[in-house]
């Protein structure tokens, strides 16, 4: 396998200005004819060859300006077709034969669940036709699709429908033209028998856009929420960034077989059905929120990704980090900002921090890759979004908006780099981001240690910050980063203290943003009468690990009094983590466990708080996951963490039984399901109460909640709790749920996941037998993620069983997927990435499985990259 390096990047020698495609789809083969209008770049050297990528294509014919090329006039070696010394401007026409009907990789053109569809990002277009398949080659596309009319009545591609008609033999065709030039990764086409749900949106400038959602006929009643979410996204981008939609039609196609969440193809998004289909009986509140977020995300790509695109794949975060930031802001504006922030940070800590501390650690702008698909990571996406958020913090909302305006004005229609975005932000705002650029090149989560000193005599309070960016593979001795610290100080009555820095003459504000930019620096506040409690990194103002010496009492104080909702939650998380990890150490020494009464009282106060947002209460009372706790330990103690965390949950359940019960009752709803913020908050808190109550109540109590649930949120909350109870009710609930939902593949994913996450003994054996279930399909990524992904990533106690059977299950799955779907195989293989963090016995077991995978014949490049980096 070869590695591609950022430092080797060069602009293309040839551009393809026009692309005329004909795809003739048949049951057992598809013919693709492509006529490419090629033009040599004025900067290209004399006599350079044109290189075209092609993967698994049967070349039928090749012509240059209408003349058939003979053998010596081109070469086809491996995956590259070369035209030596190509002319300055010409039309190249190739005809290839491909086999979407047997393509299980779900890249390029593939056939799944009765529909032909495409996925081209990152390098899938080369599976459709020979092409310089790189994002800096941009052209105008015209695409004709033909297929049997009875079986595939719907024929789609990007842009506008310009022609359609009948063909002989019961076939028909449709021709689509995209007026905007684009890179090949944004190409899409679809042929299938799908229902279409329509709506319209009128843009700020008064243009009417037709919105068309294509789904399986049986799902036609589940598009309403996605359509509403799209309309909200379109309005939000106009209002927030002044960006309007630019075509007359916006199409979304939903499929059950998709490697990712969704894909932003120009004017023709393809979505994993999970992010389109919802109604209260089948989708949870989380699903409703996920749909709103992903619909928004793909829509926002129209400007950040499509109109302004990437010059090479190393710049992926330019579109993904920015677009995640935009979808986060959108969701915050549609719902509760604090709740959204907490959910995002929980996710970041769970996946990105772990990635940044492991063998795959890479900067948000990676420097090399073997398989680009491996770099659609939490780092590029979610840390990338945090980097954009820090720019927003330094520039302020107005400066940021000016920067966005300038970025779009300068680069609309072109393929650019992260540097172009930073430069636009600097030029528009006048803020110097030179040191800040290190966030793009340095990997690893910075550790910021804070110490404090109070001088009562002079009323001075000093905070000292020291930062260390840890070494990561290929990167040592890093430089200090520029880090924003949004902060405040709380007086002993909980009131905020004025923040006047030494040397300032007027009274300072109650909150401010400090900027760190060296290894060690101090900030002294004057006029501080009594020792305050610091509230630092409010709203998680930087993606760092904060180390403080806050005491239990101070954390409890912050939990109750901080004016920043995020930090109230974070103080609680810190408190739980300190407590549980302290207990892990006590368990090791054989000491008995006891939970601090102050902590119990703090939980009680939060739980019964009369005015707090119920979603925030629920978040505050959710203990950190076993995975997250493990990440905080040098050597992860799987059993100790499980035992200590269970002890804390059980103790809180018993001690506050009456409160859990009364809050549970108070959260019961009257009236029909509504997916609004307040109703969701109630259901969330009710579900949490139920999980605590299940520790003190009988299975019949939870069964009752299950049986009386009137929507999927409540039903799944009860099922998830029941499945962990070692009782006959548990099996009964699983059977009833399956019986009720066996026709709905998305709901069955929840059924698989609930069982994969169970604490019950024998969970691994159950997961293994579910892989043989008729509704499980290893070719379907949603099924693989729902069952095996959930088990390996979110059920550490069972996955890390000391007999190594969990590791076998994962290794066998990776090896099976290696030939079926290499992208998903590589994703799954990263389940071993943390192997060096465990005890010697488990390390040995995991290493042996990694080696077994590495020794597999015909190992896909992507899997090779993950396992060889893990073993290095
Ligand atoms: N850009 C796509 C991801 C494509 C995944 C390629 N392996 C979805 C998104 O981020 O919007
Ligand atoms: Zn994206």
CA 427 / ligand 2 centre spacing (Å):
26
Tell me the mean pLDDT in the region 663-677. 93
Q: What separation in Å is there between the alpha carbon of 619 and the centre of ligand 2?
A: 27
Domains of the chain plus CATH, in order, are 1-192 (2.60.40.1730), 450-488+497-543 (2.60.40.1840), 742-872 (1.25.50.10)
**What does the alpha-carbon distance between residue 477 and residue 444 come to, in Å, rounded to a whole number?**
11
Q: Name the residue with the closest Cα to ligand 1, atom 10.
A: 320
- The closest residue, in CA terms, to atom 3 on ligand 1 is 263
Which atom of ligand 1 is nearest the CA belonging to 297?
A: 11
Q: Is 264 a catalytic residue?
A: no
CA of 298 to the centre of ligand 2 (A): 6
Q: Would you state the pLDDT for residue 512?
A: 98
Q: Ligand 2 centroid vs 354 CA: distance in angstroms?
A: 21
Q: What SS3 string covers 416-454? A: ECHHHHHHHHHHHHCCCCCHHHHHHHCCCCCEEEEEEEE
Kindly report, residue by residue over 336-382, the tens digit of the pLDDT. Answer: 999 999 999 999 999 999 999 999 999 999 999 999 999 999 999 99
Indicate the burial class of 206 (C-beta count within 10 angstroms; 0-12, 13-18, 19 or more). exposed
Residue of 260, 272, 369 with the most ligand 1 atoms within 8 Å of its CB, for mutation? 260
Could you identify the atom of ligand 1 that is nearest to the CA of residue 121?
Answer: 6
What per-residue confidence (pLDDT) applies to 85? 87
Q: Rounded to an integer, what distance in angstroms lies between the CA atom of residue 626 and that of residue 689? A: 19
Catalytic residue among 123, 264, 292, 298: 298
Determine the residue of 295, 372, 376, 380 to mutate for testing ligand 1's pocket, defined as the one with the most ligand atoms within 8 A of the Cβ atom.
Answer: 376
Surrounding residues of ion ligand 2, Cβ less than 5 A: 320, 323
Q: Considering every ligand atom shown, identify the ligand nearest to the alpha carbon of residue 827 and give its number.
A: 1
Q: How far is CA 315 from the centre of its chain?
A: 17
Nearest CA to ligand 1 atom 9: 263
Segment 521-549 shows an average pLDDT of 98
ipTM: 0.99
The per-residue pLDDT for 602 is 98
> 670 pLDDT exceeds 90?
no
User: How do residues 228-280 score in pLDDT, each as one tens digit?
Assistant: 999 999 999 999 999 999 999 999 999 999 999 999 999 999 999 999 999 99
Nearest-CA residue for atom 2 of ligand 1: 263
- The predicted-structure confidence for 135-154, as pLDDT tens digits, reads as follows 999 999 999 999 999 999 99
Phi and psi dihedrals of 515, rounded to 5? Answer: -120, 115
Q: Give percent of the chain above pLDDT 90.
A: 99
Tens digits of residue pLDDT in 282-293: 999 999 999 999
pLDDT in tens, 25-74: 999 999 999 999 999 999 999 999 999 999 999 999 999 999 999 989 99
Ligand 1, residues 108, 121, 315: which to mutate, most atoms within 8 A of Cβ?
121
Place of tokens 């095996």: 788
- Rounded to 10 deg, the angle between the 822-829 and 861-871 helix axes is 10
Residue 347, C-beta contacts closer than 8 angstroms, at least 6 positions apart? 378, 382
Task: For 197-230, write each residue's pLDDT tens digit.
Answer: 999 999 999 999 999 999 999 999 999 999 999 9
Atom of ligand 1 nearest to the CA of 373: 7
The structure's pTM equals: 0.99
Residue 372 alpha carbon, nearest atom of ligand 1: 7
H-run or E-run covering 388: helix 384-411
Q: Which two tokens stand for residue 378?
A: 């939490």
**What's CA 507's distance to the chain center, in Å?**
43
Pocket of ligand 1 (CB under 6 A): 121-122, 259-260, 262-264, 297-298, 301, 320, 373, 376
Question: 566 pLDDT band (50/70/90 cuts)?
Answer: very high
Tell me, what DSSP letter sits at residue 550? -
Distance 264 CA to ligand 1 centre (A): 7
Reported as a pLDDT band with limits 50, 70 and 90, residue 310 is: very high
* Nearest ligand to the CA atom of 124: 1
Distance CA 312, CA 310 (A): 5
C-alpha of residue 263 to centroid of ligand 1, in Å = 5
Atom of ligand 1 lying closest to residue 823 CA: 7
Bridge-based pairing state of the strands 249-255 and 160-166: unpaired
Q: Are 389 and 326 in contact (CB under 8 A)?
A: no
Q: What's the gap in Å between 252 CA and the centre of ligand 2?
A: 15
Mean pLDDT over all residues of the chain? 98
pLDDT in tens, 722-768: 999 989 999 999 999 999 999 999 999 999 999 999 999 999 999 99
Mean pLDDT for 608-621 is 97
Position 669 confidence tier, pLDDT thresholds 50, 70, 90? confident
């Amino acid at each position: 396998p070869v590695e591609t390096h950022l430092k080797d990047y060069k602009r293309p020698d040839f551009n393809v200005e026009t692309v005329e495609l004909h795809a003739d789809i048949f049951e057992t083969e598809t013919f693709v004819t492509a006529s490419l209008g090629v033009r040599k770049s004025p900067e290209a050297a004399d006599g350079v060859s044109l290189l075209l990528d092609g993967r698994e294509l049967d070349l039928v014919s090749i012509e240059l300006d209408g003349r058939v090329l003979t053998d010596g006039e081109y070469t086809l070696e491996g995956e590259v077709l070369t035209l030596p010394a190509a002319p300055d401007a010409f039309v190249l026409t190739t005809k290839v034969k491909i086999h979407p009907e047997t393509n299980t990789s779900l890249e390029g053109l593939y056939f799944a669940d009765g529909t032909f569809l495409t996925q081209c990002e990152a390098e899938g277009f080369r599976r459709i036709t020979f092409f310089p398949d790189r994002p800096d080659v941009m052209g105008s596309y015209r695409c004709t699709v033909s297929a049997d009319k009875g079986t595939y009545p719907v024929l789609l591609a990007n842009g506008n429908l310009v022609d359609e008609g009948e063909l002989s033999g019961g076939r028909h065709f449709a021709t689509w033209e995209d007026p905007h030039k684009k890179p090949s990764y944004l190409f899409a086409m679809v042929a299938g028998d799908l229902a279409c749900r329509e709506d319209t949106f009128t843009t700020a400038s008064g243009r009417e856009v037709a919105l068309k959602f294509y789904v399986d006929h049986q799902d036609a009643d589940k598009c309403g929420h996605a359509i509403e979410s799209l309309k909200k996204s379109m309005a939000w981008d106009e209002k927030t960034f002044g960006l309007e939609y630019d075509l007359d039609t916006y199409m979304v196609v939903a499929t059950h077989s998709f490697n990712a969440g969704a894909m932003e193809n120009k004017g023709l998004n393809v979505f994993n059905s999970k992010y389109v289909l919802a109604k209260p009986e089948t989708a949870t509140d989380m699903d409703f929120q996920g749909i709103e977020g992903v619909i928004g995300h793909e829509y926002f790509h129209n400007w950040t990704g499509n109109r302004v695109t990437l010059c090479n794949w190393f710049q992926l975060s330019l579109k993904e980090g920015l677009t995640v930031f935009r979808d986060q802001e959108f969701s915050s504006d549609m719902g509760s900002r604090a709740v959204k922030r907490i959910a995002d940070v929980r996710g970041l800590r769970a996946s990105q921090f772990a990635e940044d501390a492991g063998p795959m650690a890479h900067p948000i702008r990676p420097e090399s890759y073997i398989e680009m698909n491996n770099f659609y990571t939490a780092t590029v996406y979610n840390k990338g979004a945090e980097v954009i958020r820090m720019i927003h913090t330094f520039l302020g909302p107005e400066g940021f908006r000016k920067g966005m305006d300038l970025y779009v004005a300068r680069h609309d229609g072109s393929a650019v780099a992260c540097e172009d975005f930073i430069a636009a932000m600097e030029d528009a705002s006048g803020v110097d981001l030179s040191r800040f650029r290190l966030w793009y090149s340095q990997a690893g989560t910075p550790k910021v240690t804070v110490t404090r000193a109070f001088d009562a005599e002079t009323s001075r309070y000093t905070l000292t910050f020291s930062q260390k960016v840890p070494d990561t593979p290929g990167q040592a001795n890093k430089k200090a980063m520029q880090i924003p610290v949004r902060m405040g100080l709380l007086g002993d009555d909980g009131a905020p203290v004025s923040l006047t820095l030494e040397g300032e003459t007027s009274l300072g504000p109650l909150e401010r943003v400090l900027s760190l930019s060296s290894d060690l620096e101090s900030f002294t506040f004057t006029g501080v009468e009594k020792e305050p409690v610091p509230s630092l990194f409010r709203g998680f103002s930087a993606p760092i690990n904060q180390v403080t010496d806050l005491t239990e009492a101070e954390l409890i104080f912050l939990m109750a009094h901080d004016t920043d909702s995020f930090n109230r939650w974070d103080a609680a998380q810190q408190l739980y983590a300190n407590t549980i990890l302290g207990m892990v150490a006590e368990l090791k020494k054989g000491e008995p466990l006891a939970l601090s009464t102050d902590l119990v009282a703090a939980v009680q106060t939060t739980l019964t708080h009369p005015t707090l947002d119920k979603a925030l209460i629920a978040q505050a009372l959710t203990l950190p996951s076993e995975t997250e706790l493990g990440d905080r330990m040098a050597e992860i103690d799987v059993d100790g963490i499980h035992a200590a965390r269970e002890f804390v949950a059980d103790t809180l359940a018993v001690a506050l039984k009456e409160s859990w019960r009364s809050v549970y009752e108070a959260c019961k709803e009257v009236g029909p399901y509504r997916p609004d913020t307040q109703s969701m908050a109630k259901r969330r808190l009710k579900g949490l109460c139920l999980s605590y109550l299940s520790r003190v109540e009988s299975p019949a109590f939870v069964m009752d909640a299950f049986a009386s649930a009137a929507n999927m949120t409540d039903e799944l909350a009860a099922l998830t709790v029941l499945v962990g109870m070692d009782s006959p009710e548990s099996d009964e609930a699983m059977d009833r749920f399956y019986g009720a939902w066996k026709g709905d593949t998305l709901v069955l994913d929840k059924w698989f996941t609930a069982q994969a996450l169970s604490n019950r003994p024998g969970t691994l054996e159950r997961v293994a037998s579910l892989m043989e279930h008729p509704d499980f399909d290893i070719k379907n990524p949603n099924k693989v993620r729902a069952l095996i992904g959930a088990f390996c990533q979110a059920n550490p106690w069972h996955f890390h069983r000391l007999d190594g059977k969990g590791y076998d299950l994962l290794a066998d799955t990776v090896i099976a997927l290696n030939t079926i779907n290499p992208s998903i195989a590589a994703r799954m293989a990263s389940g071993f990435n943390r192997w060096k963090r465990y005890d010697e016995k488990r390390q040995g077991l995991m290493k042996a499985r990694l080696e077994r995978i590495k020794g597999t014949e015909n190992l896909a490049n992507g899997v090779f990259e993950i396992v060889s980096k893990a073993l290095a």
